[in-house]
Structure 1
Amino acid sequence: MDVTRGSGLRRRLRSPHDREILRLAVPAFGALIAEPVYLLADSAIVGHLGTPQLGALGLAGTALQTLVGLCIFLAYATTASVARQVGAGDRRSALAFGIDGLWLALGLGVVLALVGTLVAPAVVEAFGPSEAVHEYAVTYLRVAILGMPALLLTFAGTGVLRGLQDTRTPLWVAGASYVGNVVLNVLFVYGFDWGIAGSAWGTVLAQTGGAVALVVVVVRGARRHGASLRPDLSGIRASMHAGVPLIIRTLTLRVALLATTYVATSSGDTALAAHQVAFTLWNTLSIALDAIAIAGQAIVGRYLGASDVRGTRATTRRMIEWGIGAGALFGLVIVLARPLYVPLFTSDTEVQALLAQVILVFAVFEPIAGVVFVLDGVLIGAGDGRYLAYAGLLTLVAFLPLAWLVYATDGGLTALWWAFGGFMVARLVTLVVRERGTAWLITGAQSAGRS
């Protein structure tokens, strides 16, 4: 057999997967990057009000982001459920699942907003800020938490559209919300002289506008295909049931990241400063890798709904290759570009030197991170949340002793990042073991998460 012809054939067979991955991943990346840009814009606007206001924004933002991170299951679980129905050829049921997700998001968002306004002072107090920061942080948090229903509706609406294989609409909505956020923040903070409360109100209104736009798109689709818009309690319970394992999975990740930050804090100000920059870089690159994972959620859910195991396997293999390639490229770039960007973050030579060491460790594990993100998305798309929850607990149990060892021996920041790399390796092992098996390959309209 002609080897050249065989290689060309393989390339042609792969190209449809590549086009599909890119079609979903590129817009998803644009929508994902909008949230950090939101925060940067808010910081730039509030920063000119004064140091206490900026510190209050950082404190309140940390509390909000923790809560928001736990609710991301509304996007992930909805994507998987809707994509599976699309693959099964039942668009009406796909949109019915989407409507259930929207109702769950609205109810949960209202509860969190009501509770949040009551406990805001206690949450801020737990951080132990100064009196000036405390006052501003409570003011911002009490207003910003009112946007929780809109934010969760945005998650669910985005999940519905991703499941319908549409990542462009969420991108356009995110872009418009960002522009609206900047305009409203400037107007309220400086035009109306509302101070930090103006920033919170601007963000809430921008989030509300984005949520309304996504809900309108989903509702129009539901009406077009005859899906009921009324709340279905059994469907809402099923959506919550599918989401609980993903909440546990997310909690394990958050605990690991908090433990890492805690150990870095104990290593001194230089280590904490270097860790903050390294962690920011890691988060930024994670957004790009997560875009491939989101494509995996939508594509795998659709293939399994269509009972196409072969297509699921082929697409998964190709996305793993994408993850490895993207991770290796990011790792190489971040090492070679160190002289360009490290001085931009700090002029402290000790921090620069430590950061340069940490980045080398960071880069080593980027290809592994690429595979981890991809397989995480694949299994979420398959509705395999229960396994991800157990795997998350297992990897957390494996990581915490490593973090404690660095803390107990005063091993320093470089050792801490090697330990965090061990956490990523543990996640890789649990995900690869699962992917190599067949237990997650449940085909048809019903996924493991809804059975």
Structure 2
Amino acid sequence: MASRSDQTTGSQNAAGQVTAGQIFGLAFPALGVLAAMPLYLLLDTAVVGRLGGFELAALGAATTIQAQITTQLTFLSYGTTARASRLFGAAKKQEAIAEGVQATWVAILVGLLISTAMMLGAPFFSLWLSGNTEVAHAATQWLRVAALAVPLVLIIMAGNGWLRGIQNTRLPLYFTLAGVIPGAILIPVLVSHFGLIGSAWANVVAESITAALFLGALFKAHKGTWRPQWQIIKQQLVMGKDLILRSLSFQVAFLSAAAVAARFGTASLAGHQILLQLWNFITLVLDSLAIAAQTLTGAALGAKSAQVARTVGIKVVGYSVTFAAVLGLVFALFHQQIPRIFSQDQSVLAEISTPWWIMVAMIVLGGIVFAIDGVLLGASDAVFLRNASIAAVLLGFLPGVWIAYAIGAGLTGVWCGLLAFILIRLVAVVIRFQSMKWART
């Protein structure tokens, strides 16, 4: 039987009561979760960097491999949120939480497989990426310890998914900080005693604490069976397949961009790295609003109110574009000062000067793209998002970036390719949103 709070949530959604308080109450804690790990990794890099260039190179190779593997499995967050939020909106809170149970089973099973593969394949992956046997050996040692945390990372993704689905983004923030803060304290201690490998153990400790807290919240909230429900797991994996392909298309775009930027010289690659890290930071802010859109859209559709879902989309797009415009204005006004925070090299700064304005345009356009992405993810419109992303890579980015390479357009050409990637996605998601077909998926 649905609780009174569940029924209240459903009736509010049906009545169209989507407020700024609801949106930002979900978005701000989500932003904290999104920002915590990048800040932790920056600290990790700074501490290991004090050991020397060799250790920093090994850490870079190892974390790149780990990130490429775990990034493809974010469907455990986004897919679970989409499914759980629909059930929550339909006043079926216990069924929404049960989605978290099944997603956690997926996390454990898939995590153990990936962990095993990482331990066995670490020497090959590390050598392929680094091209240096000594760096590969050090990276392998780091990866084999970090592999212990892979199931924990996936459990955390599943935990974020079901808690967002029931419109609770505060607990994920608390759980994340409870793991990240002790981990951050341990990094310098363990690295000073054990060298590079200490960094990996600090990571395992941080993920263990956070995963344990998510599991504790699940045990407290769930009232039904704990057995794997293979039909539900199958449905989650089907949606996961589309989200993995979508994520892979992003990886193809940005890895190709780095590869082409490198072919234009060291200054070009360094400039690209600065722009890319700034872009990644900006997407954190905009993604937090997309998470709010996803959660509220799923709940509205679960309550069978497509109009409320549309209202959510319009409001979140408005807020997201406003934030994006402010960010774009800041980056435009301080176009000379911000790059100098990262480099004083005149050749690098010269490479950045023109692509900087392309990035500013991408920030404003991204305010629309990411917000509607959130709405469509909340509607479980994963097949469309997969197709749109792949089309944007094949029709926009890859032709643009390789033409830039062929004609020697430099870093400006590379970022024109990324702009084309965003523009095609923009057109696709706006048309899809206006059609309202996503509300019937």
Do Structure 1 and Structure 2 share a fold, with TM-score over 0.5? yes
- Give the Cα separation in 1 of the matches to 2:74 and 2:115: 16
Structure 1 runs not aligned, ≥5 long: 1-12, 443-447
Residue from 166, 169, 177 that aligns with 1:167:
169
In the other structure, the counterpart of 2:421 is: 423
In the other structure, the counterpart of 2:375 is: 378
Deviation at 1:111, TM superposition (A): 0.5
In the TM superposition, what are the counterparts of 1:402-417 in structure 2 within 5 Å?
402-417=400-415
In the TM superposition, what are the counterparts of 1:291-370 in structure 2 within 5 Å?
291-370=288-367
The C-alpha deviation readout for 1:350-394, integer Å capped at 9, x for no partner, is 211222322111101211111111111111110111111111221
The C-alpha deviation readout for 1:266-310, integer Å capped at 9, x for no partner, is 111111110000000000000001101111110100000001111
Residue from 70, 73, 76 that aligns with 2:72:
70
Q: CA RMSD in A?
A: 1.5
The C-alpha deviation readout for 1:309-347, integer Å capped at 9, x for no partner, is 111111111111122111111111112123332222111
Residue from 243, 259, 263 that aligns with 2:256:
259
In the other structure, the counterpart of 2:218 is: 218
Contact 2:400 2:416 in 1 (8 A): no
Residue from 137, 142, 155 that aligns with 1:153:
155
In the other structure, the counterpart of 2:104 is: 102
The C-alpha deviation readout for 1:36-80, integer Å capped at 9, x for no partner, is 012111112211222111111111111111111101110000001
Percent identity over the alignment is: 34
> Does 1:439 pair with 2:437?
yes
Deviation at 1:131, TM superposition (A): 3.2
> Does 1:20 pair with 2:22?
yes
Task: Tell me which stretches of 4 or more aligned residues in structure 1 moved more than 6 Å.
Answer: none
Contact 2:191 2:198 in 1 (8 A): yes
Amino acid in structure 2 at the alignment position of 1:312:
A
Structure 2 runs not aligned, ≥5 long: 1-14
- Give the Cα separation in 2 of the matches to 1:162 and 1:248: 23
Amino acid in structure 2 at the alignment position of 1:176:
A
- Give the Cα separation in 2 of the matches to 1:387 and 1:62: 29
**Matched residue pairs, number?**
426
Contact 2:102 2:229 in 1 (8 A): yes
- Give the Cα separation in 2 of the matches to 1:411 and 1:430: 27
In the other structure, the counterpart of 1:205 is: 205
Normalised by the length of structure 2, the TM-score is 0.94
Contact 1:95 1:227 in 2 (8 A): no
Amino acid in structure 1 at the alignment position of 2:422:
M
3-state SS, counterpart of residue 338 of structure 1: coil
Deviation at 1:163, TM superposition (A): 0.4
Amino acid in structure 2 at the alignment position of 1:404:
W
3-state SS, counterpart of residue 438 of structure 2: coil
Moved more, 283-292 or 365-374: 365-374
In the other structure, the counterpart of 1:8 is: none
- Give the Cα separation in 2 of the matches to 1:183 and 1:420: 38
Contact 1:140 1:196 in 2 (8 A): yes
Deviation at 1:141, TM superposition (A): 1.1
3-state SS, counterpart of residue 127 of structure 1: helix
Amino acid in structure 1 at the alignment position of 2:343:
T
- Give the Cα separation in 1 of the matches to 2:99 and 2:174: 23
Contact 1:160 1:218 in 2 (8 A): no
The C-alpha deviation readout for 1:402-449, integer Å capped at 9, x for no partner, is 11100111111112212211110001111111111122113xxxxx4x
- Give the Cα separation in 2 of the matches to 1:319 and 1:433: 17
Contact 2:401 2:416 in 1 (8 A): no
In the other structure, the counterpart of 2:191 is: 189
Contact 1:14 1:318 in 2 (8 A): no
Contact 2:373 2:429 in 1 (8 A): yes
Amino acid in structure 2 at the alignment position of 1:440:
W
Amino acid in structure 2 at the alignment position of 1:198:
G
3-state SS, counterpart of residue 344 of structure 2: coil
Amino acid in structure 1 at the alignment position of 2:194:
W
Deviation at 1:14, TM superposition (A): 10
> Does 1:400 pair with 2:398?
yes
In the other structure, the counterpart of 1:87 is: 89
Moved more, 237-246 or 100-109: 237-246
Residue from 246, 252, 267 that aligns with 1:270:
267
Normalised by the length of structure 1, the TM-score is 0.92
Deviation at 1:208, TM superposition (A): 1.1
- Give the Cα separation in 1 of the matches to 2:88 and 2:99: 11
Deviation at 1:86, TM superposition (A): 0.4
Amino acid in structure 2 at the alignment position of 1:249:
R
